[in-house]
Amino acid sequence: MEIVKAAGLQKYYTNASYEVRALDGVSLTVEEGEFLAVVGSSGSGKSTLLNMLGGLDEPTAGGVWIRGNSLRDMSREERTIFRRRNIGFVFQQYNLVPVLNVYENIVLPLKLDGAPIDETFIDHIIDVLDIGEKLYEMPGTLSGGQQQRAAVARALSVKPAIVLADEPTGNLDSGTSMEVMGLFKTCAEQFHQTLIIVTHEEEAAQMADRIVRIEDGKIWGQEGRP
């Protein structure tokens, strides 16, 4: 079943002397439970696409639908609430709150939304990600891989429709990168998540169900299931 749809997405940045077409007519669908990797060089438009799919930025033209809900038709406040309840984000810089311990970071999205904390589910995430011994430590004391695990747990805590990850292995060594990608795949399967990552690392991308290649703001090809 289709869970994400992007149609005719454009994102242009213009001034008096030039125009940059970060996205130039991108259309894409993602099936529920799919693990999709978007691959491209720096400046190809892949992170812009992820921001559009997550409602973090608005397109110049075109639209995005999540579970049939049009992001463009929502007000900014409606989009913020929808995003918090339906989309989990994992950023390259992790974005953990430094004054909160690991557990507090994991449940922060739930507290911001005033939602109940499903402790059984949270415990399961923590067990799968193997960070139980780090729950009451501060982010600054953790290794990059441990911070990434905490960021993944936070993204999963709200049981989102989709998880979006922007260069999730960009700050990690090759061994840790593959470990984190394996965790992503395991979590996607165990928690029935739809996962979309953007990466420039071919080895990491090969773990996905499907690879979409983007350059110059356009999709140039794909591999894997259609």
Q: What is the pLDDT of residues 189-200, one digit of tens each?
A: 877 789 999 988
33-59+73-224 to CATH, choices 3.50.50.60, 3.40.50.300, 3.40.47.10, 3.30.1300.10: 3.40.50.300
Torsion of CA 198, 145, 202, 156, to 10 degrees: -40
Pull the structure tokens for residue 123: 């415990």
Domain ranges of the chain: 33-59+73-224
Q: Which amino acid is at 138?
A: M
What is the DSSP pairing of strand 61-66 with strand 2-14?
Answer: antiparallel
- Average pLDDT value for residue range 205-217: 92
**Confidence (pLDDT) at 108:** 94
Distance CA 100, CA 39 (A): 33
How much is the average pLDDT of 152-156? 88
Cα(169)–Cα(197) distance, rounded to whole angstroms?
Answer: 10
Q: Are 135 and 102 in contact (CB under 8 A)?
A: yes
Instruction: Give the pLDDT confidence score for residue 164 in this predicted structure.
Output: 93
Is the pLDDT confidence value at 226 over 70?
A: no
Confidence band, pLDDT 50/70/90 cuts, at residue 62:
very high
